[in-house]
């Protein structure tokens, strides 16, 4: 069974630009969550989507947004990039109705803002 797939794996953007990251969950999983990982702040929850609806949102500014499609694939977007947005962005998928132990992470998308 294929794991969580994230694209692109690496990208470099300039301050002020916007970026879109993509996540394909494990087949059959309908919940997708996004996390930001930085050396200073560690792993922080961004948001969770289920059945194309945002269920929870972490403490991030409105520049961070996401969406989920009918096939459960998800994208997250960061607008007006700042240097501090440089991070590893991790997507995680879970089957419907799962508890915390069945969260599967992808390898992440490394974003560098210059």
Residues that bind other proteins (CB under 8 A): 4, 31, 33, 35, 42-45, 48, 55-56, 58-59, 90, 92, 94, 98-101, 103-108
The tokens describing 4, both together, are 């969580």
Question: Nearest distance from residue 99's CB to other proteins, in Å?
Answer: 5
Considering the complex, state which of residue 70 and residue 99 has its C-beta at the smaller distance from other proteins.
99
The residue among 59, 62, 91 whose CA lies nearest residue 79 is 62
Question: Nearest distance from residue 106's CB to other proteins, in Å?
Answer: 5
Question: Nearest distance from residue 69's CB to other proteins, in Å?
Answer: 18
* Distance, CA of 32 to CA of 105 (rounded, Å): 10
Question: Nearest distance from residue 32's CB to other proteins, in Å?
Answer: 9
Considering the complex, state which of residue 31 and residue 113 has its C-beta at the smaller distance from other proteins.
31
| Pairing assessment for the beta strands 31-38 and 5-7 based on DSSP bridges | unpaired
Considering the complex, state which of residue 16 and residue 64 has its C-beta at the smaller distance from other proteins.
64
* Distance, CA of 82 to CA of 69 (rounded, Å): 27
* Distance, CA of 95 to CA of 6 (rounded, Å): 18
Considering the complex, state which of residue 12 and residue 43 has its C-beta at the smaller distance from other proteins.
43
Residue that is written with structure tokens 């990208």 in the block:
11
Residue that is written with structure tokens 């089957």 in the block:
95
């Amino acid at each position: 069974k294929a794991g969580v797939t994230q694209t692109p794996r690496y990208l470099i953007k300039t301050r002020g630009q916007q970026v879109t990251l993509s996540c394909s969950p494990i087949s059959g999983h309908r919940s997708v969550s996004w996390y930001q990982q930085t050396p200073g702040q560690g792993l922080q929850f961004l948001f969770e989507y289920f059945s194309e609806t945002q269920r929870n949102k972490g403490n991030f500014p409105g520049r961070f947004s996401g969406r989920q499609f009918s096939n459960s694939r998800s994208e997250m977007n960061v607008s007006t990039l700042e240097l501090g947005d440089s991070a590893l962005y991790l997507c995680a998928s879970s089957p419907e109705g799962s508890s915390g132990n069945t969260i599967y992470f992808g390898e992440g998308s490394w974003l560098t803002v210059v």
